[in-house]
Amino acid sequence: MAPQPEGTWTMSIAEFLARYLQEAKDKGIRTPVLCVLSSTCDQARAVYGGLTGEPMPPVTGPGGEEYGPTEVAEPAQAARLLREHCGGGGSLG
Q: Would you say residue 23 lies in a domain? A: no
Question: What SS3 state is found at 55?
Answer: coil
pLDDT of residue 1: 38
Q: Would you say residue 40 lies in a domain? A: yes
Q: Would you say residue 59 lies in a domain? A: yes
Is residue 36 within 8 Å of residue 63, measured between CB atoms?
no
Domain residues for 67?
30-90
Is residue 83 within 8 Å of residue 90, measured between CB atoms?
yes
Amino acid making up residue 48: Y
pLDDT of residue 43: 92
Indicate the number of domains in the chain.
Answer: 1
Q: Would you say residue 21 lies in a domain? A: no
pLDDT of residue 55: 95
Q: Would you say residue 57 lies in a domain? A: yes
**Mean of the pLDDT values across residues 16-40?**
92
pLDDT of residue 13: 87
CA distance 61 to 14: 22
pLDDT tens for 33-85 read 999 888 888 999 999 999 999 999 887 766 555 667 889 999 999 999 989 99
